[in-house]
């Protein structure tokens, strides 16, 4: 078993001061695959102190030099892609091919976009306010606590670390205790890329320990958090005491509006996007809302697509979906599938229990419910598993009303060949992202939510903007 108990603080790997052992469980085998250490207050303090000490020097480093270090990071990231893919696959269960392509690929994609955006970013520009030499400058917020989840680990880590670093911030990363191994490889990459000691630090820990200590720490200026809405609320409260900037990327319950005139691949796309990463994506299109005239046809097609989704071990190559991350999630998903049955939704694919022949491992059957109504639990709760709810609507107005009738507001999707309708809906849907006739955004487009899905924007220039202070400089003769 891998033993990786050290933390990366002030440019070196150090033993924990207050650590306690934690087994990382491989969701394919249900057995431990690594032992790490969860730190305590003294470890958090040491990492924050290193970040604070490094801040003046890093803020004074020219942006061009910071960009060069991001370019170095991209190069070493590509070289170590296989190590990152294996680390994610073993700890959070992404099938190895998907881990190599989508999981690792999302990280390199973000680093590349930040390099481009940082080169184009107006770090300092003149401002006409009638005074001499007036200008607006964008500078670092300070010491940032970066707290990430396990579901798209490198996606989240690079979105935060690369943006914070290029903007001149120093940082402490606390990755999810469910998927810490990839983040530890990433810390090696930050070292190899040549970031000065203290700019980037990593401490492993859980939410009640290192997570809470970071959010309450007086020397932390900003918290950037991705994870559950539950933890996001706790973090906001904890950070309020020291009035830190808090950037939250939280859960979602995306609606995918399928109109009768949608293109012929729309249903397949919607089902497969829901099942991707075993349904463990905050922007999953988990409510497929279908225009009444197309409803029966869509339900039948969706069931057929789901029946062809195969499930299997994460260490086997292929296009299957893997297990979910842990037993807690597995049990929660089973309970929600059961609630769908009990509350009268019509099961058209999957159901409770493990898929045939997979008795060990946190496997879930790709599941589709039809005839889901807005008051049902599965229409409201974020399931975070391969479970799709199909709902019917009669009019466009009703579709918008149901889609917006959720505390979340991360991503909604519209599938229709009517351009005027797409434009109307893009304005009416209350979510940070609306993706039409597809399930993705263009390069560098900002990612983030409204309402209980959070308040920040990540990726590209908007992602850098979240990690800067705007300074107004004016002068009189
Ligand atoms: P989680 O909230 O349990 O944990 C996320 C991270 O926060 C972990 O590192 C955890 O240790 C830490 N944490 C937990 N409680 C904390 C606290 N009180 N103070 C400080 N840190 C704390 O979430 P998860 O189960 O790891 O991830 C799944 C959730 O993340 C889902 O709800 C999903 O929708 C959301 N998510 C959102 C986005 C987005 O960009 N909007 C992206 C991915 C995942």
| pLDDT tens string 145-182 | 999 999 999 999 999 999 999 999 999 999 999 999 99
443: pLDDT strictly greater than 90: no
Task: Decide if the complex's ipTM is over 0.90.
Answer: yes
CA nearest ligand 1 atom 34, residue: 251
What's the CATH architecture for 2-250+453-473?
A: 3-Layer(aba) Sandwich (3.40)
Burial 33-58 (b: 16+ CB within 10 A, else e): bbebbbbbbebbbbbbbbbbebbeeb
For residue 134, report the distance from its CA to the centre of ligand 1, in Å: 42
For residue 251, report the distance from its CA to the centre of ligand 1, in Å: 8
CA nearest ligand 1 atom 32, residue: 228
In this predicted model, what pLDDT tens digit does every residue of 205-254 receive, in sequence order? 999 999 999 999 999 999 999 999 999 999 999 999 999 999 999 999 99
Average pLDDT, the chain: 97
Please classify residue 420 by burial: count the beta carbons closer than 10 Å to its beta carbon, then call 0-12 exposed, 13-18 middle and 19+ buried. exposed
CB under 6 Å to ligand 1: residues? 147-152, 174, 176-177, 206-207, 211-212, 215, 226-228, 231, 234-235, 249-252, 282, 382, 384, 410, 449, 453-454
pLDDT at 130: 86
477: pLDDT strictly greater than 80: no
What number of other Cβ atoms are within 10 A of residue 197's Cβ?
Answer: 15
Separation CA 199–CA 47 (nearest Å): 10
Task: Please tell me if the domain spanning 2-250+453-473 has the same topology as the one spanning 255-436.
Answer: no
Separation CA 473–CA 386 (nearest Å): 52
Domain boundaries, the chain: 2-250+453-473, 255-436
1: pLDDT strictly greater than 90: no
pLDDT at 391: 98
In this predicted model, what pLDDT tens digit does every residue of 326-361 receive, in sequence order? 999 999 999 999 999 999 999 999 999 999 999 999
Non-local (6+) Cβ contacts of 377 within 8 A are 336, 339, 340, 343
* 188 catalytic residue (yes or no): no
355 vs 130, which has greater pLDDT? Answer: 355
21: pLDDT strictly greater than 80: yes
What number of other Cβ atoms are within 10 A of residue 263's Cβ?
Answer: 13
* pTM confidence score: 0.97
The 3-class SS string of the chain reads CEEECCEEECCEEECCCCCEEEEEEECCCCEEEEEEEECCHHHHHHHHHHHHHHHHHHHHCCHHHHHHHHHHHHHHHHHCHHHHHHHHHHHHCCCHHHHHHHHHHHHHHHHHHHHHHHHHCCCEEECCCCCCCCEEEEEECCEEEEECCCCCHHHHHHHHHHHHHHCCCEEEEECCCCCCHHHHHHHHHHHHHCCCCCCEEECCCCHHHHHHHHHHCCCCCEEEEECCHHHHHHHHHHHHCCCCEEEEECCCCCEEEECCCCCCCHHHHHHHHHHHHHHCCCCCCCEEEEEHHHHHHHHHHHHHHHHCCCECCCCCCCCCECCCCCHHHHHHHHHHHHHHHHCCCEEEECCCCCCCCCCCCCCCCCEEEECCCCCCHHHHCCCCCCEEEEEEECCHHHHHHHHHCCCEECEEEEECCCHHHHHHHHHHCCCCEEEECCCCCCCCCCECCEECCECCCECHHHHHHCCEEEEEECCCC
- The owner of tokens 């197309």 is 294
For residue 226, report the distance from its CA to the centre of ligand 1, in Å: 5
User: Ligand 1 test: best mutation among 22, 107, 149, 181, most atoms within 8 Å of CB?
Assistant: 149
The radius of gyration of the chain's CA atoms, rounded to the nearest angstrom, is: 23
What percentage of the chain carries pLDDT values higher than 90? 97
CATH 3.30.479.30, domain 255-436, yes or no: no
Half-sphere exposure of 147 (CA within 13 A, CB side): 31
Separation CA 275–CA 158 (nearest Å): 24
pLDDT at 476: 83
Tell me what the mean pLDDT of segment 391-415 comes to: 98
* 33 catalytic residue (yes or no): no
pLDDT at 129: 87
Please classify residue 250 by burial: count the beta carbons closer than 10 Å to its beta carbon, then call 0-12 exposed, 13-18 middle and 19+ buried. buried
User: Ligand 1 test: best mutation among 88, 213, 227, most atoms within 8 Å of CB?
Assistant: 227
Q: How confident is the model at residue 444 (pLDDT cuts 50, 70, 90)?
A: confident
For residue 231, report the distance from its CA to the centre of ligand 1, in Å: 6
Separation CA 179–CA 266 (nearest Å): 33
Tell me what the mean pLDDT of segment 393-421 comes to: 98
Q: How confident is the model at residue 191 (pLDDT cuts 50, 70, 90)?
A: very high
């Amino acid at each position: 078993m891998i033993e990786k108990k050290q933390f990366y603080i002030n440019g070196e790997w150090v033993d924990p001061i207050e650590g306690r052992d934690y087994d990382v469980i491989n969701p394919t085998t249900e057995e431990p695959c690594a032992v790490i250490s969860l730190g305590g207050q003294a470890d958090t303090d040491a990492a924050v102190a290193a970040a604070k000490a490094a801040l003046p020097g890093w803020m004074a480093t020219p942006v061009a030099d910071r960009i060069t270090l991001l370019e170095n990071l991209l190069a070493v990231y590509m070289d170590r892609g296989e190590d990152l893919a294996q680390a994610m696959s073993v700890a959070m269960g992404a099938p190895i091919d998907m881990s190599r392509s989508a999981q690792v690929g999302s990280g390199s994609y973000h680093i590349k976009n930040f390099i481009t955006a940082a080169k184009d970013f107006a770090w300092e520009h003149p401002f006409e306010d009638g005074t001499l030499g007036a200008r607006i400058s964008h500078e670092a917020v300070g010491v940032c606590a970066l707290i990430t989840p396990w579901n798209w680990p490198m996606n989240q880590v690079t979105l935060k670390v690369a943006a914070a670093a290029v903007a001149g911030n120093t940082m402490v990363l606390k990755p999810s205790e469910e998927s810490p191994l990839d983040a530890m490889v990433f810390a090696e990459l930050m070292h190899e890329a040549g970031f000065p000691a203290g700019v980037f630090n990593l401490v492993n820990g859980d939410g009640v320990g290192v997570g809470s200590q970071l959010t309450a720490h007086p020397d932390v200026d900003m918290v950037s958090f991705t994870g559950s809405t539950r933890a996001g609320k706790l973090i906001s409260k904890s950070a309020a005491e020291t009035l830190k900037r808090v950037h939250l990327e939280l859960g979602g319950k995306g609606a995918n509006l399928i109109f009768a005139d949608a293109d012929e691949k729309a249903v397949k796309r919607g089902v497969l996007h829901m099942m991707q990463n075993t349904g463990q994506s905050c922007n999953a299109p988990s409510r497929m809302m279908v225009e009444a005239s197309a409803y029966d046809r869509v339900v039948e097609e969706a069931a057929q697509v789901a029946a062809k989704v195969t499930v299997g071990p994460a260490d086997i190559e292929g296009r299957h979906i893997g297990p979910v991350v842990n037993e807690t999630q597995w049990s929660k998903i089973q309970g929600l599938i059961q609630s769908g049955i009990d509350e009268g939704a019509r099961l058209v694919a999957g159901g409770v229990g493990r898929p045939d022949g997979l008795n060990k491992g946190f496997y879930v059957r790709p599941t589709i419910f039809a005839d889901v109504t807005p008051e049902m639990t599965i229409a409201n709760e974020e399931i975070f598993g391969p479970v799709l709810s199909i709902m019917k609507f009669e009019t466009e107005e009703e579709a918008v009303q149901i889609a917006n009738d959720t505390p979340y507001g991360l991503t909604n999707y519209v599938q229709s060949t009517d351009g005027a309708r797409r434009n109307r809906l893009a304005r009416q849907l209350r979510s940070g992202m609306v993706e039409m006739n597809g399930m993705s955004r263009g390069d560098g487009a900002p990612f983030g939510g409204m309402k209980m899905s959070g308040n920040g924007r990540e990726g590209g220039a908007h992602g850098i903007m979240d990690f800067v202070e705007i300074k107004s400089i004016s002068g009189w003769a």
